[in-house]
Amino acid sequence: MANNAKKYIITAVTLGVIAAASAGLIGLTNLFTAKQIALNEQKRIKAGIVEIFADDAEILEEKAVSDKELKYTNYEYTLNKGVAFRTTGSNMYGKISMLVGYGKGIIPGGSETSYKFAGIYLITNEQTYASTLVENYVTPLNNDDINYDDVKCGATYGATLIKEMIEETNKIMEGRKAE
């Protein structure tokens, strides 16, 4: 019996050590990689902003949005060319995370006084119909071929999600004036 108990203890200790070592290794890797992963995220946002605006677009200020009323919007970026929002949402076909950009619009008279919808950039598109969505909705939208509420495109659910996100950021931008 004593022999048996000893065996069990040895087994338990071995397993405990393996589990602890595994946890330690994973934690250690996380320490090393977390920073890099965040940096990659940053790079992707920068790429998106360049895509929406122009090569010389720059992020001046980053601000987390923590308004309970807002369902999708997470971050607001103040740019030299306008404003961009980071939104994340999901429907039953998957997650979409994207940037919505608003450029400074020049109205007749020469001064920059209002913001105008500039385009969107999908950071992650995990929809089932990802490519259909991009081909039939996102690209035409960015080329001003369709309006954002024109969601009938073969990937209606994804397009509706994007539309709702844009509507939310439109609401934030409503009444804002560029200085």
Partner 1 sequence: MNILISFLLAILSSMLIDNVVLSRFYGICPFLGVSRKVKSSLGMGVAVVFVIVLATVICWPLYNFVLVPAGIPFMDTVAYILVIASLVQLVGLFIKKYSPSLYKSLGIYLPLITTNCAVLGVAQGNTDQGLNFLSSLANGIGTSVGFLLIIVVFSCIRVRLESSNVPKAFKGLPIALIVAAIMAIAFMGLQGLFSGIQL
Partner 2 sequence: MAREKGYTKKNFLKGIIIENPLFVSILGTCPALATTKSIEAAIGMGILFTVVLVCSNLLVSLLRKLIPEEIRTPAYIVIIATFVTIVKMVTNAFLPELYQTLGVFISLIVVNCIVLGRAEAYASKNKVFDSLIDALGMGLGYTLALISMAFFREILGTGCFTFGKVFTFIPEVSLRIIPKGYEISLFQTPVGAFIVFGVILAVLAFIKNRKAELKENLARQERIKKQQEAAAASAAAKANAEGGNK
Partner 3 sequence: MTKEAYLIIAIVILVALLVTFIVSFVLYRKTPVPKGCENIEINEENCSHCSHKECSHFIKRDEE
- Residue ranges in contact with partner 2 by CB under 8 A: 7, 10-11, 14-15, 18-19, 22, 25-26, 29-30, 32-34, 36-37, 40, 44, 124
Residue 95 near which of partner 2, partner 3, partner 1, none (CB within 5-8 Å, type-dependent): partner 1
116 contact choice in partner 3, partner 2, partner 1, none (CB below 5 to 8 Å, kind-dependent): none
Q: Which of 19, 28, 37, 54 binds partner 3 (CB under 8 A)?
A: 19
Concatenate the DSSP letters of all residues of the chain into one string. Answer: -HHHHHHHHHHHHHHHHHHHHHHHHHHHHHHHHHHHHHHHHHHHHHHHHHHHS-TT--EEEEEE---TT-SSEEEEEEESSEEEEEEEEEETTEEEEEEEEEEEEE-TTS-EEEEEEEEEEEEEE--TTHHHHIIIIIHHHHTTSS-TT---SS-HHHHHHHHHHHHHHHHHHTT-B--
CB 50 within 8 A of CB 32: no
Which residue, 14 or 30, has its beta carbon nearer to partner 1? 30
**Listed ranges 15-23, 53-61, 151-159, 166-174: which one lies at the site for partner 3 (CB under 8 A):** 15-23
Residue 154 binds which of partner 1, partner 3, partner 2, none (CB < 5-8 A, kind-dependent): partner 1
Q: Which of 15, 21, 37, 54 binds partner 3 (CB under 8 A)?
A: 15
| CB distance 128 to 94 below 8 Å | yes
Q: Which is nearer to partner 1, 18 or 106 (CB)?
A: 18
Q: Which is nearer to partner 3, 24 or 154 (CB)?
A: 24
Q: Which residues bind partner 3 (CB under 8 A)?
A: 15, 19, 23
